[in-house]
Amino acid sequence: MSTGQEVLVRVENVEKTFRRGSEEVHVLSGMNLDVPSGEFLALMGPSGSGKTTLLNLIGGLDRTTTGSVKIGSERLDQMSDRQLAAWRARHVGFVFQFYNLMPALNAERNVELPLLLTHLSRAQRKRHVQTALEVVGLSHRAKHYPRTLSGGEQQRVGIARAIVTDPTLLLCDEPTGDLDRKSGDEILSLLQALNQDQGKTIVMVTHDPHASNRATRTVYLEKGQLSAEKPE
């Protein structure tokens, strides 16, 4: 990728501690991570190692205990809740393991949701929704409700929703975790295409070596620290 040199995500000296009653749980300690623009990064590690926690920090869904998270030129740790919400709407797309679609809305309405946070007209929104559904290959399912779609199709709706605002960064938390091998592979191909053809920077949490093989780089999280090698 031509834009591959700039750093898009910079996580610096991040600590994250949760309180569970009187007990403190140190999940991330002194964590550093740079994600260059245009990278498709796979984040692996055992269950409970803090992968989701790290992803949420990068996505502005949670705050660091100490340390900074910088996306492009913006410091997430210095933003107010309101600023963070507006920032998320413009710059990130989330893809969830269980799709998190609104059961009461059909596919195109689900995909349209992030566009309600923009100034686009109804007609413009419709066009963007159509494009996003085309990209994921689901135009023919636009009027379907989530419960009438297969898991793979639901996840494609989820991806369409994540890319409909054309964000720079896609954050995927085990996007194939709930899918069979074949549907999972289709989703991975789709993510790969988004990365290669549209230059999306992707951070994907996964347990599946199959999935991480599609990424341009894989990092491992264990005991609050990252490493480039799979720990023994």
Partner 1 sequence: MNWISQIVAVAIFNLRTIPNRKGSAITTVVGIAGVVAVFVGVLSIAEGFRAAMTVSGSDDVVIVLRSGADSEMNSGLSREETRLIADVPGVARNAEGALLSSELFVMVNLPKRSTGTDANVPLRGVGKEAASVRHNIQIVSGRMFELGRNEVIAGAGAARSFAGLDVGNKLRVGQNEWEVVGVFTGGGGSAESEVWTDAAVLQPAYNRGDTFQSVYAKLTSPDSFVQFRDALAANPQLKVKALLQKEYLAEQSKALTSFIETVGVGITALMALGALFGALNTMYSAVAARTREIATLRAIGFGASPIVFSVLLESVALAIVGGVAGAAGAYFALDGFQTSTINFQTFSQIAFAFTVTPQLLAKAILWAAAIGMLGGLFPAIRAARLPISTALRET
Ligand X SMILES: Nc1ncnc2c1ncn2[C@@H]1O[C@H](COP(=O)(O)OP(=O)(O)OP(=O)(O)O)[C@@H](O)[C@H]1O
48 binds, among ligand X, partner 1, Mg ion, none (CB under 5 to 8 A by kind): ligand X
Between CA 88 and CA 85 the distance in angstroms is: 5
Helix (H, G, I), strand (E, B) or coil at 22: coil
How many residues bind Mg ion (CB under 5 A)? The answer is 1
Q: How far is the CB of 196 from ligand X (least distance, A)?
A: 27
Tokens of 227: 């490493």
Tell me which residues in 1-20 interact with ligand X (CB under 6 A).
18, 20
59 lies in the binding site for partner 1 (CB under 8 A): yes
Looking at the Cβ atoms of 113 and 226, the one nearer to partner 1 is 113
Tell me which residues in 43-82 interact with Mg ion (CB under 5 A).
52
> CA of 16: how far to CAs of 24, 111, 135, 170, 223, in Å?
10, 32, 36, 22, 12
Q: What are residue 170's DSSP bridge partners?
A: 93, 202
* CB atoms near residue 168 (< 10 Å): 18
Helix (H, G, I), strand (E, B) or coil at 23: strand
Tell me which residues in 157-186 interact with partner 1 (CB under 8 A).
161
Binding letters toward ligand X, positions 50-89, x by CB under 6 A: xxxx------------------------------------
| Binding positions for ligand X, rule: CB under 6 A | 18, 20, 25, 27, 45, 47-53
